[in-house]
Amino acid sequence: MNTRIMSVRGRRIWDSRGRPTVEVDVHLEGGAWGRGMAPAGASRGSNEAIDLRDGGREQAGFGVQGALRAISEVIAPALIGMDARDQDAVDMELIALDGTPNKARLGGNATIATSMAVIQSAAAAEKMPLWQYLAGDRPVRLPLPEVQIFGGGAHAGQRIDIQDFLVMPIGAESFDEALCMASDVYRAAGELMAALGRRSGVADEGGWWPEFTSNEEPLELLTRAIERAGYRHDQVAISLDIAASEFGRNGRYRLAVERREFDTAEWIDVVTRWIRRYPIVSVEDPVAEDDSAGMRAFTDAVGDSVQVIGDDFLVTSAERVSAAAVAGQCNAVLLKPNQVGTITETRRTMETARRLGWGMIVSARSGETEDTTIVHLATGWNTGQLKVGSFARSERMAKWNEGLRIEEQMGKDARFAGWSALPVRSLA
């Protein structure tokens, strides 16, 4: 099949927050084609790739006409004629065309949608699902899901300070069983909220709205929900995305909901106490992106038995992952393709983390679409973990459900990552 790129077409679509975003279709000369859709974050790291937004009054400044122009005027003419199977060359061309360190010229939204569409078209040309195209002959596993139960922080109008209270079904033996377990806990948590008269809808990623009076209360309730659903803590464990850059700066951490303020050492003490009291196996961005010493101290304190994920702190950058490893910061990296802007750069960061023996979590954003590419990346690259939000709202369910289809495609060869995907020797 002729895999030369024949056309690259962008269009404006709308994301799960009702904001404009970029979709790209790539058609190949042989007839195969692929599609990619750009997601968008709300609690972004300051070193992420920049989404090109139009500004001004229309669509509250979120317009993507500039990004679409970059696709039709700059990206399409350069990519037409290139081989879609050579993802590295395509992405290096995108990087060169952009010419900035953070995709500020073309827009990370334009480059990631294009990059995803190209890899999808190449898999389609091989008549393979993307996960299989990426895996080649290597054995791969379905990822361990990290499922949000309560949303908070920037995804819930700062109703509470901590951003994500999630569960990991570490005792599951298959992806299918893991989703059943997550669904049981999600439902149990909703019932507990209803019984307290505090159930009032869901946050941006589908987790229950955080109608709480402190940041610890949801931990208490989540622990009870796991028990109410009938699971032990070695079957379903808790994971936190603190997203501390949202409330921490210059070594001060201000919890608005509790009207309390801590320095870095006191804040690490608070989180460490939570880890002792509740069945927490993973913590993301425990300190702010500017708190390097804090990240080292936290990793030092708990890194043997708890996964310490860098999101805003590492922004899917291979260089940052390498530097963090040398400095003793984190033992896992969140992989958000749009945080860096191309599939190839995401893969390089993944490979760097793999060499270090780190945990690798492919992740969605809080603003999402029905695109399921990241599920294929997590499986085909065998990263072991996947985080796409809660267990409600179809932009989330589209991804969990795609994992079920992949598990079915693997048939009797299907393997599931389970808790061994965590970079810890034993569970706390």
Give the 3-state DSSP-derived string for the chain, with helices as H, strands as E and coil as C: CCCEEEEEEEEEEECCCCCEEEEEEEEECCCCEEEEECCECCCCCCCCCCCCCCCCCHHHHCCCHHHHHHHHHHHHHHHCCCECCCHHHHHHHHHHHHCCCCCCCCCHHHHHHHHHHHHHHHHHHCCCCHHHHHHCCCCCCECEEEEEEEECHHHCCCCCCCCEEEEECCCCCCHHHHHHHHHHHHHHHHHHHHHCCCCCCECCCCCECCCCCCCCHHHHHHHHHHHHCCCCCCCCEEEEECCHHHCEECCEEEECCCCEEEEHHHHHHHHHHHHHHCCEEEEECCCCCCCHHHHHHHHHHHCCCCEEEECCCCCCCHHHHHHHHHHCCCCEEEECHHHHCCHHHHHHHHHHHHHHCCEEEEECCCECCCCCHHHHHHHHCCCEEEEEEECCCHHHHHHHHHHHHHHHHHHHHCCECHHHHCCCCCCC
Establish whether 322 is an annotated binding residue. no
Question: Total residues contacting ligand PGA (rule CB under 6 A)?
Answer: 12
CB of 311 to ligand PGA, least distance (A): 5
Active-site annotation holds for 412: no
Q: Is 387 annotated as a binding residue?
A: yes
Select the residue interacting with Zn ion from 311, 371, 402, 407 (CB under 5 A): 311
Is 284 assigned to a binding site?
yes
Nearest to 275 by CA among 202, 201, 219: 219
Q: What does 366 bind: ligand PGA, Zn ion, none (CB cut-off 5 to 8 Å by kind)?
A: ligand PGA
Q: Which does 41 bind (CB under 5 to 8 A by kind): Zn ion, ligand PGA, none?
A: ligand PGA
Q: Which residue's CB is nearer to ligand PGA, number 26 or number 156?
A: 156
Residues 228-267 that bind Zn ion (CB under 5 A): 241
Q: Please, which residue, 91 or 241, has the CB nearer to Zn ion?
A: 241
Residue nearest to Zn ion (CB): 311
Position closest to ligand PGA via CB: 41
The smaller minimum CB distance to ligand PGA, of residues 161 and 311, is found at: 311
Task: Judge whether 105 is annotated as a binding position.
Answer: no
Residue whose CB is less far from ligand PGA, 349 or 366: 366
**Catalytic residue at 73?**
no
Binding at 365: pick from ligand PGA, Zn ion, none (beta carbon under 5-8 Å per type): ligand PGA
Catalytic residue among 23, 103, 146, 336: 336
Q: Is 16 a binder of ligand PGA (CB under 6 A)?
A: no
Q: Report which of 195, 166, 222, 238 is spatially closest to residue 388, judged by C-alpha positions.
A: 166
Question: What's the rounded Cα separation, in Å, for the pair 44 and 62?
Answer: 15
Between 231 and 313, CB nearer to Zn ion: 313
366 is known to lie in a ligand binding site: yes
Give the separation between CA 76 and CA 343, rounded to whole angstroms: 17
Alpha-carbon distances of 359 from 9, 144, 350, 355, 381, rounded to whole Å:
36, 11, 9, 11, 13
Applying CB under 6 A, does 363 fall inside the site for ligand PGA?
Answer: yes
Q: Which range in 13-21, 42-50, 54-62, 262-270 contacts ligand PGA by CB under 6 A?
A: 42-50
Q: How far is the CB of 172 from Zn ion (least distance, A)?
A: 23
Tell me the C-alpha distance between 400 and 413, whole Å: 19
Q: How far is the CB of 415 from ligand PGA (least distance, A)?
A: 26
Interface with ligand PGA includes 366 (CB under 6 A)?
A: yes
Q: According to CB under 6 A, which residues from 124 to 163 bind ligand PGA?
A: 154, 163
In the complex with ligand PGA, which residue's Cβ is closer, 161 or 184?
A: 161
Q: Is 241 annotated as a binding residue?
A: yes
Q: Which one among 27, 365, 396, 399 touches ligand PGA, defined by CB under 6 A?
A: 365
332 is a contact residue toward ligand PGA (CB under 6 A): no
Q: Please check whether residue 395 is in contact with residue 247, taking contact to mean a CB–CB distance below 8 angstroms.
A: no
Q: Does 44 help bind ligand PGA (rule: CB under 6 A)?
A: yes
Structure tokens at 303: 């890194």
- Name the minimum Å distance from CB 387 to Zn ion: 8
| One residue of 20, 41, 279, 303 binding ligand PGA per CB under 6 A | 41
Footprint on residues 223-252 left by ligand PGA (CB under 6 A): 241, 243
Nearer Cβ to Zn ion (98/285): 285
Which listed range, 14-22, 126-134, 281-289, 381-389, lies at the site for Zn ion (CB under 5 A)?
Answer: 281-289
d(CA 165, CA 148): 6
Are 131 and 405 contacting, i.e. CB atoms less than 8 angstroms apart? no
Catalytic entry in 205, 246, 289, 407: 205
Catalytic residues: 205, 336
Which residue positions form the known binding site for (2R)-2-phosphoglycerate?
163, 336, 365-366, 387
Annotated binding site for Mg(2+): 241, 284, 311
Residues that bind Zn ion in the complex, under the rule CB under 5 A: 241, 284, 311
